[in-house]
Amino acid sequence: MERVGFTDPVLTARDAGLVGCRSCARAWPMGTEVCPNCGARVQSRSRRSLQRVWAWWLAGLICYVPANIYPMLETRTLVHTESATIVGGAVDLAAHGAYGIALIILVASVVIPVGKFVSIAFLALSVGRISRTSPEARHGVHEIVEYIGRWSMIDVFVVAILSSLVQLNAVAAIQPGPASLAFALSVIFTMLSAQAFDPRMIWDGIEDQKAGHL
């Protein structure tokens, strides 16, 4: 592996009086607003980024409540109609012996979303404070949250697939429940929340702390 022009301690673009473009990685003089190379908006640190993180985070959390209370799927067969919530559906699957699939649904719809809410809140709270968690670890958390968040959409897709597929007139029909929309919105909002977080803030002040002149 090659490392380009590595200097220790690390000089950041901001320390050098420059601003880096997060789209194309070029450096420009401080105060540049639009990257002349790729046309993206550039900001040394988006000061309002934390507000956006919290706004999307809250919207996602609010949507996550009805997503768990209301039914995700309504199944109507000849004999009866039943509706299942996210957790209820996973429990049903496990009861039928499909433990693997039940686990996928539980991980995608419960573990990942809850983990995301906790992780994003942790990252946003640790900015600007002296955190006991190393920046490397926090950076890892941010990478995982950004990478894994989209996989929560599995359950929404399953609902869309089942309700278009199982339309067998009198025999059986599956309809999406209100939770499907709430859950989709919750996933979208938390993805926006994670994207709004500026990971450069994790590393700010690290060099000063290391050098001991805060």
Partner 1 sequence: MVDTSRLDDLIVCTECDALYRVRQPERGQVAVCARCHTVLAAPRAKAALQIVALAVATLILIVGAAVFPFLRIEVGGVANAASVLDISYAFFDGFLTVLVIATMSMILAIPALRTGLIIYVLAPFIVDKPALPGARAAFRVAQQLRPWAMAEIFAIGCAVSLVKIADLAQVTFGPAFWMFAVLTVLIVIQQKFMCSWSVWNALASQTPS
* Longest Cα–Cα distance in the chain: 75
Q: Does 30 bind partner 1 (CB under 8 A)?
A: no
Nearer to partner 1, 115 or 135 (CB): 135
Question: Which of 25, 34, 125, 137 lies at the binding interface for partner 1 (CB under 8 A)?
Answer: 25
Q: Does 71 bind partner 1 (CB under 8 A)?
A: no
Nearer to partner 1, 50 or 202 (CB): 202
- Environment class of 1 (CB within 10 Å of its CB; exposed 0-12, middle 13-18, buried 19+): exposed
Q: How far is the CB of 56 from partner 1 (least distance, A)?
A: 14
CA-based nearest residue to 115, from 195, 187, 198, 49? 187
Q: Does 16 bind partner 1 (CB under 8 A)?
A: yes
| 11, 35, 133, 136, 213 from 208: Cα distances, Å | 11, 28, 16, 16, 6
Going residue by residue from 107 to 146, which x/- string records binding to partner 1, judged by CB under 8 A?
Answer: ----------------------------xx--x------x
Compute the distance between CA of residue 198 and CA of residue 124 in angstroms, rounded to an integer: 9
Question: Which of 80, 130, 169, 214 lies at the binding interface for partner 1 (CB under 8 A)?
Answer: 169
